Amino acid sequence: MEKIVVFTGAGVSAESGLKTFRDMGGLWGEYAIEDVASPAGWKRNPAVVLDFYNERRKAVLAARPNAAHEAIARLEEQFDVVVVTQNVDDLHERAGSSKIIHVHGEILKARSSIDASLVHVLDKPTIELGELCGKGSQLRPDIVWFGENVRHMDECAEHFAEASRVITIGTSLTVYPAAGLVEKAPWRAEKYLVSPEPQEIPYGFKFLRGAAATVVPHVVKCWLEGRKPV
């Protein structure tokens, strides 16, 4: 079965009403993003970090998949689809996609602050100070912070290299190393970048300008009908 890799960023979730760090202007309340999204910030004030992600988690739980998420899920009717996402929400899962790789973690999970392998799905929208893992350390969001290693890069690179079609949606392709994955796509693959704003287009990609919730369903319809998007 033909493989499609879908690479998504914050722009897709933004169309479901979820704020991006860019929307926040680098600040959340009076705190710089680095204070709530870095190991140093966690060490200085874990309560503030937990509060920040508790608010983000509540917003995720209140959000709904949009037309782009739903269209991506429909591709599985005819293709082997792998969604590689920089997003930490579960909107792809809720829309029906079955193969999703979260390179920056998942906000609806918690993990040990001393053993990254101890991860579990949260059964409530908050993590509180004093909630401990099985090894006795404070639970933290299962999120990749600035300065931490992006996940599953080798696996993702293999999927990109095997793809006959790649569509990149809602990402500025400026957050590395994840953004470098598009360079692994075969030169013969059919490749598109969907964004509402002009930006630097990776070599071999065709730029489709517009909102993800509008453009992606069109691309998916064309592919399911055996046509190239125009």
Catalytic residues: 104
Instruction: Report d(CA 179, CA 224) in Å as an integer.
Output: 27
Residue with tokens 């079965």: 1
As a whole number of Å, the end-to-end CA separation of the chain is: 24
From 39, 92, 89, select the one nearest 60 (Cα to Cα): 89
142 burial (CB, 10 Å; 0-12 / 13-18 / 19+) is buried
Instruction: Report d(CA 218, CA 230) in Å as an integer.
Output: 9
